[in-house]
Chains A and B, each alone.
Chain A
Amino acid sequence: MERKPSSRGRTLRSSKGHERREGEGVRSRLRRFSIGFGWFFLQLIVCASNLVPLDTLAQTSISAPHDVRVFDTPSDGGGSLTVQWAPSSWDGPDARYQVLAGDAAVTDPAALTIIAEFPANSKYVKDAKTAWWTRNVDKTWHQVLVRSAKGFEVKDGTSYAVAVATVQGDQRVFSPVLVASPSPDWFNWNQLNNLIIALSFGGLVFYSISYAKRHEIFLRRIPGLDAVDEAIGRATELGKPILYLTGAHDLHDPSTIAAAVILGKVAKRAALYETELLVPHREPITMAVCQEITKQAYLEAGKPDLFKEDANFFITADQFSYTAAVDGIMLRKKPAANFFMGAYFAESLLLTETGASTGAIQIAGTDSDHQLPFFVTTCDYTLIGEELYAASAYLSKEPVQIGTLLGQDIGKVVVLSAIGIGIVLATVGAVTGEQWPQLFLDLFRDLK
């Protein structure tokens, strides 16, 4: 008899060539034991089922929801009541909860209108978009908002009777009827984190401004803004005008304001070089503001006589009509420098590609991230995102303006740190199932 090693137990080979595995004996004993145990377990179930009916085996007896609370929804605009109650042992897909509401005078819960009905393992406090600092109960509690629905209106200042029922099969057990009235609130405490972050950032910006007044701050080069002088100089040399666009939005958009501020700097240099400036607009109010800015720039440059009222002119508010008109100006007047500042949409490529075909030097600056690829591919220089807002500081070199950039940079460091820490904590929370990382993550959540 010879022995040969095998990966699964050892193989025994007899002199007659028959093979038999040595582990087979152990496994057959195990199989016999498991069959015996299975049979015993089955007998046990049969015996138990003789004592208790099978259908009641799956059910647990239900009772009324306990610790039910009904109150005006906090931090809301009114017209809503919050109902909360503690989780129970029967919470599962078989049982259901009903939330009932009606006139405050009703005392019989069965007479109330069913506002919501759902499986007992759903609608928890954790599902609501609230922060930990506004929660008054554990996240495992149930929570439902009672709002106006078809056939039931919730009015501020009116009292309503609310009850919760547990339903299983034909059984329905009610909680006591509670009364509450909704009212609007003057502050959304869920957004407290947002307010604190905004105020902190504002404080940081003003601290940076005061710091910049006392210290010299390094400002990195922005090639697109260095090229402004080059572009205006080129237009002067060629005796051609400068075309400046302020974007598609009106002055409610910070990017349009940034574009208008940069226009002041460009207009001042254009006035110094005595170069014609064309500023076609899509929005009349922006046009009026830009007229004032341009006028002031010419005054500051000491060339008020060169200022033309119609340097800023209105074309149309329509996207493609405006684009067609500006393309026409580019092709007829052949400006030597084109500036595209502010917000843009589909017209960006139509404008810049036409400008490129006329051989103009093109500088774009936009916070419209979806249009950035078009500007980058068709313009000589592009101010990407925040550089548009930095342009004013870069061109003026005023400490007040530069200080703002310092504040923004510190803000970015804070945001990046929060992202890094948040990633680590979210991962720890997901892996360990711990709740404490959520305390930090909630601080940076956008809660309404």
Chain B
Amino acid sequence: MIFLRRQLPLLITLVTGLLFAAQYYVPHPASEQMLTSATKWLQIVGGFALILGVTSLFHQHAVKIRRQEAGWGYSLVLYVGMLGTIAVGLWTNGKESVEGTMTAFGWVYNYMMVPLQGTMFAILAFFIASAAYRSFRAKSREAAVLLVAAVIVMMGRVPLGEYLIPLSGDVSSWILNVLNSSVRRAILIGVSLGAVALSFKIIFGVERSYLGGGKE
């Protein structure tokens, strides 16, 4: 049993990890074919895993409705929305339009899903303003530096700002291309080394907490 729970997954991780790390260096079409097949398998496994996810979602909201927890009405909306979308999707064979005419499924997607997504994305503009307001209050030296840099970059990125302060365009470009880029690259170097080190640990079974089941 311990073999199935611990050793076999670690063995699979080691073999596949080394295989796909080596794949990067092998230009042969067989290597590309192997990667394509593995990607397809991942998609298939992901498709089955979705059943797991949807079951979890239904269970979670069924419990809420049954217990009539706070906000259970939203759970009801979720049930109606999900079952309704599945029903119209099956009815129209998953097609958004037939011979140029929008189906019920297409209507749900275009007139409900897309505007709702757009609304969420649009809220971002207000959240940026509120986050900027809080962080730009020059309460500390760091916040003051952030404020000054932000003002210069904002002025340099809009035509009116550059018209009013001609130097702001060059200074903002310098801030973005020199200071910002160099710091981002430094972060990326650290991230890459961290990711490679973690990958080594996982491939060779040094890091195994992601498997659950503790140490033995």
Q: Which of A324, A388, A411 contacts B120 (CB 8 A)?
A: A324
Q: Which residue of B lies closest to A323 (CB)?
A: B120
Q: Evaluate contact between A314 and B56: CB separation under 8 angstroms.
A: yes
Q: Hey, which chain B residues are within 8 Å of A2, CB to CB? A: none
Q: Hey, which chain A residues are within 8 Å of B202, CB to CB? A: 257
Check A377 for interface membership: any CB of B closer than 8 A: yes
Q: When A261-B207, A323-B120, A346-B124 are in contact, do A77 and B27 touch as well, CB less than 8 Å?
A: yes
Q: When A289-B212, A350-B123 are in contact, do A377 and B135 touch as well, CB less than 8 Å?
A: yes
Q: Hey, which chain A residues are within 8 Å of B59, CB to CB? A: 310
Check B71 for interface membership: any CB of A closer than 8 A: yes
Give the total of B residues in contact with A, Cβ under 8 Å: 64
Q: Evaluate contact between A320 and B121: CB separation under 8 angstroms.
A: yes
0 or 1 for each of B198-216: is its CB under 8 Å from A? (1 = yes): 1111101011011111100
* Interface window among B43-51, B93-101, B154-162: B43-51
Give the total of A residues in contact with B, Cβ under 8 Å: 85
Check A248 for interface membership: any CB of B closer than 8 A: no
Q: Evaluate contact between A186 and B26: CB separation under 8 angstroms.
A: yes
Q: When A186-B26, A264-B209, A314-B52 are in contact, do A415 and B193 touch as well, CB less than 8 Å?
A: yes
Check B177 for interface membership: any CB of A closer than 8 A: no
Q: Evaluate contact between B209 and A367: CB separation under 8 angstroms.
A: no
Q: Evaluate contact between A201 and B26: CB separation under 8 angstroms.
A: no
Q: Evaluate contact between B193 and A201: CB separation under 8 angstroms.
A: yes
B66-115 contacts to A (CB < 8 Å): 70-71, 74
Q: When A367-B191, A385-B191 are in contact, do A377 and B132 touch as well, CB less than 8 Å?
A: yes
Check A184 for interface membership: any CB of B closer than 8 A: yes
CB B48 to nearest CB in A, in angstroms, measures 9
* A198 to B26 alpha-carbon distance, docked (Å): 15
Q: Which of A75, A255, A287, A346 contacts B56 (CB 8 A)?
A: A287
CB A370 to nearest CB in B, in angstroms, measures 8
Q: Hey, which chain B residues are within 8 Å of A295, CB to CB? A: 212
Q: When A314-B57, A385-B191 are in contact, do A296 and B117 touch as well, CB less than 8 Å?
A: no
Q: Evaluate contact between B189 and A415: CB separation under 8 angstroms.
A: yes
* A78 to B123 alpha-carbon distance, docked (Å): 51
* A194 to B60 alpha-carbon distance, docked (Å): 47
Q: Hey, which chain B residues are within 8 Å of A22, CB to CB? A: none
* A75 to B204 alpha-carbon distance, docked (Å): 28
Check B34 for interface membership: any CB of A closer than 8 A: no
Check B195 for interface membership: any CB of A closer than 8 A: yes
Check B127 for interface membership: any CB of A closer than 8 A: yes
CB B16 to nearest CB in A, in angstroms, measures 12
Q: Hey, which chain B residues are within 8 Å of A250, CB to CB? A: 46
Q: Hey, which chain A residues are within 8 Å of B213, CB to CB? A: 292, 296
B15-40 contacts to A (CB < 8 Å): 21, 24-30, 32
B158-216 contacts to A (CB < 8 Å): 184, 187-191, 193-202, 204, 206-207, 209-214
Q: Evaluate contact between A293 and B210: CB separation under 8 angstroms.
A: yes
Q: Evaluate contact between B196 and A281: CB separation under 8 angstroms.
A: no
Q: Evaluate contact between B211 and A292: CB separation under 8 angstroms.
A: yes
CB B179 to nearest CB in A, in angstroms, measures 13
Q: Evaluate contact between B25 and A77: CB separation under 8 angstroms.
A: no
CB B186 to nearest CB in A, in angstroms, measures 8
* A400 to B201 alpha-carbon distance, docked (Å): 9
Q: Which residue of A lies closest to B190 (CB)?
A: A386
Q: Hey, which chain B residues are within 8 Å of A117, CB to CB? A: none
Q: Evaluate contact between B214 and A404: CB separation under 8 angstroms.
A: no
* A78 to B202 alpha-carbon distance, docked (Å): 33
* A201 to B212 alpha-carbon distance, docked (Å): 27
0 or 1 for each of B124-163: is its CB under 8 Å from A? (1 = yes): 1001101110110000000000000000000000000000
* A285 to B50 alpha-carbon distance, docked (Å): 8
* A195 to B18 alpha-carbon distance, docked (Å): 12
Q: Evaluate contact between B27 and A388: CB separation under 8 angstroms.
A: no
* A295 to B5 alpha-carbon distance, docked (Å): 14
Q: Evaluate contact between A284 and B53: CB separation under 8 angstroms.
A: yes
- The winner among B26, B60, B212 for most chain A CB atoms within 10 A is B212
Q: Hey, which chain A residues are within 8 Å of B8, CB to CB? A: none
* A45 to B175 alpha-carbon distance, docked (Å): 58
Check B1 for interface membership: any CB of A closer than 8 A: no
Q: Evaluate contact between A389 and B198: CB separation under 8 angstroms.
A: yes
Q: Evaluate contact between B196 and A201: CB separation under 8 angstroms.
A: yes
Q: Evaluate contact between A281 and B53: CB separation under 8 angstroms.
A: yes
Q: Hey, which chain B residues are within 8 Å of A124, CB to CB? A: none
Q: Hey, which chain B residues are within 8 Å of A367, CB to CB? A: 187, 191, 194-195
CB A323 to nearest CB in B, in angstroms, measures 6
Q: Evaluate contact between B197 and A389: CB separation under 8 angstroms.
A: yes
- The winner among A252, A299, A314 for most chain B CB atoms within 10 A is A314
Q: Evaluate contact between B128 and A349: CB separation under 8 angstroms.
A: yes
Q: Which of A260, A350, A390 contacts B124 (CB 8 A)?
A: A350
Q: Evaluate contact between B60 and A310: CB separation under 8 angstroms.
A: yes
CB B168 to nearest CB in A, in angstroms, measures 20
Q: Which residue of B lies closest to A293 (CB)?
A: B212
Q: Evaluate contact between A188 and B26: CB separation under 8 angstroms.
A: yes
- The winner among B27, B51, B70, B132 for most chain A CB atoms within 10 A is B27
Q: Hey, which chain B residues are within 8 Å of A191, CB to CB? A: 24-25
Check B11 for interface membership: any CB of A closer than 8 A: no
Q: When A287-B56, A288-B49, A320-B117 are in contact, do A258 and B209 touch as well, CB less than 8 Å?
A: no
11 contacts between A and B (CB under 8 A): A194-B25, A206-B200, A250-B46, A254-B198, A350-B123, A354-B127, A367-B195, A377-B132, A386-B193, A401-B207, A412-B190
Q: Which 4 residue pairs are nearest across A and B when measured between Cβ atoms?
A: A292-B212, A284-B53, A389-B194, A314-B53
A328-B74, A367-B191, A404-B206 given. 12 additional CB < 8 A pairs? A201-B197, A252-B42, A255-B195, A261-B210, A285-B45, A287-B52, A287-B56, A314-B54, A324-B120, A374-B131, A389-B195, A408-B197
